[in-house]
Amino acid sequence: MAEYTLLEKYESIRHRFEEVQQQITDPDVVSDMNRYVKLNQEYRDLEKLIAVFRDYKNLVDNIRSGKEILEEETDPELREMAHEEIEMAEELIPQKENEIKFLLVPAEPEDSKNAILEIRAGTGGDEASLFAGDLFRMYSRFCEKKNWRLEVTHFSEGIAGGYKEIVAKVSGEGVYGIMKYESGVHRVQRIPQTEARGRVHTSAATVAVLPEAEEFDIELKESDIRKDTYCSSGPGGQSVNTTYSAIRLTHIPTGIVVTCQDEKSQIKNLEKAMSELRTRIYNMEYQKYVDEISTKRKTMVSTGDRSAKIRTYNWPQGRITDHRINLTLYNLQAIVNGELDEIIEKLMIEENAQKLKESEI
């Protein structure tokens, strides 16, 4: 992108930033929660972009002032300083241009939302349930490192341990924009604890990450929801297992069913179940958007396609492979301990590079 084009872009973005800055203090905007939330997110995105643009503009100004010194000055020391200033700025400018290009790629509208994380055991029997448990621990540790809050809303334990399925809400800054890359089939190759002959088996678990719907995203009619209560089956002591605290909600128009038994309080379980139901209904529409986007891109790493095999964890060789970008790493133990940043960053770079090809930037 030419220098002048970038600087023109900077002026238009700076103007928009000042507009948004004023709007988020307008009482009419503050009273409209939907609009206020969107403007706040735009403000944060523009703030990051403005900071990089300012660095870029300073570098451009340094080159110009350095060239002026070379034209006007005869003092050897001043000319040497000007040469150094120009060389340093010219070396940094390509990096800043790339940063600006990536920041100019429009963010997906859902990236700033919290997420619902679902992990389900797939093929492989008891070993698949154990692997689902390993994946849940991996994401739990990843969330801890990110200072995100993870709340389990529903789970079903496997016979030999782990989970047949587990559902949790993850809250924090930009959760969905990061976690969405985990949706798909995860495959594990290792010797199961139950395998006496020491043969390597292959099992799988499915991960789905959904953007959480806010209250103003979906309007639920009470007449459309059937509520059932039952005794919780999970751990939690006598009061959990003998009182009707667990909640099952059925959305009659869509047939969507959600359950929550995590809390001892029926009211708290109802709140969590309503939040999850809202999210699932919202995601029926959101998936149409994702499918439309993915058909336009030849390489889309965050389609949310639950049937796509995205990653293999090979225990005997300590190897992990992400099949979407042909990335193989030999730090399996660190990754299952929650060190997912390297993989996710490379997936983000690949997706942004694809977006850049399609844009006019």
Contact 213, 282 (CB under 8 A): yes
Residues 228 and 262: their CA atoms lie apart, in Å, by 15
Quote the DSSP letter at residue 224: G
For 223-251, write each residue's pLDDT tens digit: 888 988 877 655 444 444 456 778 889 99
Give the pLDDT of residue 236: 43
| Domain positions in the chain | 3-104, 115-216+288-358, 222-281
Strand partners, 320: 313, 329
Greater confidence (237 vs 23) lies with: 23
Greater confidence (195 vs 318) lies with: 318
Q: Is the pTM of this model over 0.75?
A: no
Give the pLDDT of residue 297: 46
Other Cβ atoms within 10 Å of 281 Cβ, number: 21
Quote the DSSP letter at residue 164: E
Contact 161, 155 (CB under 8 A): no
Contact 122, 203 (CB under 8 A): yes
For 173-215, write each residue's pLDDT tens digit: 889 999 999 999 999 999 887 665 778 889 999 998 988 877 6
Residue that is written with structure tokens 């390297």 in the block = 342
* Helix axis angle, 3-23 to 76-104, nearest 10°: 60
Residues 323 and 295: their CA atoms lie apart, in Å, by 19
Give the pLDDT of residue 178: 93
Is a pLDDT exceeding 90 seen at residue 140? Answer: yes
Give the pLDDT of residue 300: 44
CATH of domain 222-281: 3.30.160.20
Residue that is written with structure tokens 């977006």 in the block = 355
Give the pLDDT of residue 133: 96
Identical fold for domains 3-104 and 222-281, yes or no, is no
Q: Say if strands 184-190 and 225-230 run parallel, antiparallel, or are unpaired.
A: unpaired
Q: Say if strands 327-329 and 163-171 run parallel, antiparallel, or are unpaired.
A: unpaired
Q: What is the mean pLDDT of the chain?
A: 84
Residues 219 and 325: their CA atoms lie apart, in Å, by 39
Q: Which CATH class is domain 3-104?
A: mainly alpha
For 142-157, write each residue's pLDDT tens digit: 999 999 999 998 899 9
- Alpha helices of the chain — where are they, by DSSP H? 3-23, 27-31, 33-72, 76-104, 126-146, 175-179, 238-242, 266-296, 332-336, 341-358
Give the pLDDT of residue 148: 97
Judged on CB neighbours under 10 Å (0-12, 13-18, 19+), 44 is: middle
User: Apex CA 152: angle with CA 348 and CA 107, to 5°?
Assistant: 25
Is a pLDDT exceeding 90 seen at residue 334? Answer: yes
DSSP code per residue over 254-289: TTEEEEE-SSS-HHHHHHHHHHHHHHHHHHHHHHHH
Mean pLDDT of 1-14: 75
- The region of weakest confidence among 69-83, 254-268, 283-297, 309-323 is 283-297
Other Cβ atoms within 10 Å of 90 Cβ, number: 13
Is a pLDDT exceeding 90 seen at residue 265? Answer: no
* CATH 3.40.50.170 assigned to 115-216+288-358: no
Contact 230, 252 (CB under 8 A): no
| 135-139, 173-177, 351-355, range with greatest mean pLDDT | 135-139
pLDDT-derived band at 6, boundaries 50, 70, 90: confident
**Half-sphere exposure in the Cβ direction for 255 (13 Å, CA):** 0
Greater confidence (27 vs 320) lies with: 320
